[in-house]
Structure 1
Amino acid sequence: LGSLRTEVDLVFPLLHGPFGEDGTIQGLLELAGIPYIGGGVAASAVGMDKEIMKALFKQYGLPVGDYLVYRRHEWSSRPEQITATIEDRLGYPCFTKPANLGSSVGISKVHNRAELREAFKLALTYDRKVMVEAFLDGQEVECAVLGNDQPEASLPGEIVPGAEFYDYEDKYVKNDSERIIPARLSPEQTAEVQTLAIKSFKAIDCAGMGRVDFFVLKSGQVIVNEINTIPGFTEISMYPKLWAASGVPYPELIMRLAELALERERERHRG
């Protein structure tokens, strides 16, 4: 680590999923004394574990959809009881996903008991915890956040999935989804999304960057789905597109992220 420190001024950890987005690499960089872009160890860990993230959001009074979480041993020992609980509380369709993963890997949209069994089997290949979420019928909206202790929110954008839902293939391979910036929201809804994005960012004590995903229901209610502490930076990713539409072009965005990382490093050494 000592020799690495002399060669690296700043790290931009564009790594998704376990070890890259869960606080592991962030902890390594802090041990090495190397500044890095994005959330710290705690924010990254909370942002990766959807159960803890949603519990924290609820504690901060943020609106979240209904959900249930089960461990591997629980599903193995009482699948029929869990199935009945899911059907009674959430109904079909619902979504299952690994609690600690990203990029929509391992997610299933479930319509019946047979699909639920297969969905749990899939999710449990990735994680010991499975989150089951109620289906929310509405617009899928994303908002980018930039900053440290005084973050700013971008214009919201909207995802219209090309498949039944916005899955890994749609995000990274097929690119069949339609991206609409700004999102088709009222001025009041836009302001609410931006406010909730900043509150979500602050709730997990995030830093640098984050993308907050929402559902805007047909009733007009805005629901916080999750925060991504390392949003995508591919040519089709929403985070840079949202900031470009908000007046922050890509080169300026990268420079601001670097400045925010160095600012946080100075703050950390101040104690």
Structure 2
Amino acid sequence: MAKQVVAVLFGGRSSEHSISSATAGGVLRAIDRDRFTVIPIGITRNGTFVLEEDNPEKFQLDSANLPEIVDNGTRIIWPEGADDRTLSVREADGAVRELGEVDVVLPILHGVHGEDGTMQGFLDILGLPYAGGGVLGSAISMDKHFMKIALAAAGIAVSPGFTTTAREWNQDAAGVRARASAYPLPIFVKPARAGSSVGVSRVSDMSEFDDAMSIALAEDSKVLVEQGITGREVEVGVLEGRGGAPARASLAGEIVLTTRAFYDFEGKYLGGDGVDVVCPAAITDDEMRSLQETAVAAFEAVDGIGLARVDFFLTENGPVVNELNTMPGFTPISMFPKCWIASGMTYAELITELLDTALERTEG
């Protein structure tokens, strides 16, 4: 049986460039080489598509040297449309060679220009099948403001808060402060369209609020101000159903904070002290069932396909959704793979599942 060709996209223009690159290292190392031939395509920070090395070691996540896609002079030449799925590369010396016909694209991109529906729309226009979320689900979930609207409309509990903008902050900072002061401390200030806790601040005193706004606005012109929720931080992985079956949820994992104030970028990816990731979470069967059912409902509320990770606060009154990620952290140590590994899949099987789901959807 001929191997299927997978174009793996990673890097990108967002602030999560290095995390995407590190994810690529894990995927390149674990993907089933007996079934798939891989074309690694890196996207530089300025948006240039280059042919990368098929070398997982190059993309190790190291806090002292975060992986990055650099311009090596090559240029990916995308198919011309219609039924053409042939990728080519223009080498640094100008020579052009074909890389082969692509069966499916695996866009392991985080943040804007990758997880927000733009890359999905690009691939749709080219007629290239791809794994993961579609245009609408990706766009809604990337913008936490609209995500919360969609979830609330489906009757799913979300964190109380409000959305503000750079323009409102510049014109009426006092008014924004007054609205934020109405919530009990601590409050969280976060960019509406960023992930991996980039730009997020925990405000325990209103004297910290202006700095938190500046940090968030450096990432996005739209900012969420949210009330802190008292509850356990738990996360559930969701996979699209196969053969017309409903979506299914993994066991829940828990983020246990010891000395860290919240689950920030360093705690997630750089081995920072003060946080433990426990999967499966030590919760009751009823709590697990409630989380899984709510995760699937949230996935459906945003028109989800492919995969998602739904992040919760498990409170005395039940689960409250914090956010939904359509391309969650996918390094081998990330919560999404850990939850599915605890549920009975290997990391390699999870990658294959995403690709087979995309292929099945295309053939259907």
What secondary structure does 2:255 align onto? strand
Q: Confirm or deny that 1:260 pairs with 2:357.
A: yes
AA in 1 matched with 2:297: K
Aligned residues: 265
**C-alpha distance in structure 2 between counterparts of 1:264 and 1:75, whole Å:** 44
- 1:8-47 → structure 2 map (5 Å cutoff): 8-47=102-141
Deviation at 1:141, TM superposition (A): 0.2
Give the TM-score normalised by the residue count of structure 2.
Answer: 0.70
Deviation at 1:221, TM superposition (A): 2.1
Q: Deviations over 1:43-73 (max 9, x none)?
A: 1111100000000000000011201100111
Percent identical: 45
**C-alpha distance in structure 1 between counterparts of 2:347 and 2:216, whole Å:** 35
Q: Hey, what does 2:314 align to over in structure 1? A: 216
Deviation at 1:118, TM superposition (A): 0.5
| 2:160 counterpart (62, 66, 69) | 66
Q: Confirm or deny that 1:151 pairs with 2:247.
A: yes
Q: Confirm or deny that 1:110 pairs with 2:203.
A: yes
AA in 1 matched with 2:157: P
| 1:170 counterpart (258, 261, 267) | 267
Q: Hey, what does 2:277 align to over in structure 1? A: 179
| Cα root mean square deviation, aligned | 1.4
| 1:234 counterpart (331, 356, 361) | 331
Which has the larger displacement, 246-255 or 47-56? 246-255
Q: Which has the higher helix share?
A: 1
Deviation at 1:182, TM superposition (A): 1.3
AA in 1 matched with 2:336: Y
Which structure is richer in relative contact order (CA contacts within 8 A, separation 6 or more)? 1
Deviation at 1:220, TM superposition (A): 4.5
Deviation at 1:209, TM superposition (A): 0.9
Q: Deviations over 1:22-50 (max 9, x none)?
A: 01111111111111110101111111000
Deviation at 1:266, TM superposition (A): 2.8
Which has the larger displacement, 158-167 or 3-12? 3-12
**C-alpha distance in structure 2 between counterparts of 1:230 and 1:195, whole Å:** 20
**C-alpha distance in structure 2 between counterparts of 1:15 and 1:85, whole Å:** 34
Q: Hey, what does 1:188 align to over in structure 2? A: 286
Structure with higher Rg: it is 2
Deviation at 1:197, TM superposition (A): 0.3
**C-alpha distance in structure 2 between counterparts of 1:235 and 1:95, whole Å:** 28
**C-alpha distance in structure 2 between counterparts of 1:203 and 1:138, whole Å:** 23
- Whether contact under 8 Å (2:332, 2:347) holds in the other structure is no
AA in 2 matched with 1:41: V
Query: Please, which runs of 5 or more residues in structure 1 have no aligned partner?
Result: none
Q: Hey, what does 1:5 align to over in structure 2? A: 85
Which has the larger displacement, 254-263 or 96-105? 254-263
Give the TM-score normalised by the residue count of structure 1.
Answer: 0.94
| 1:198 counterpart (280, 285, 296) | 296
| 2:175 counterpart (78, 81, 87) | 81
**C-alpha distance in structure 1 between counterparts of 2:179 and 2:309, whole Å:** 32
Deviation at 1:112, TM superposition (A): 2.1
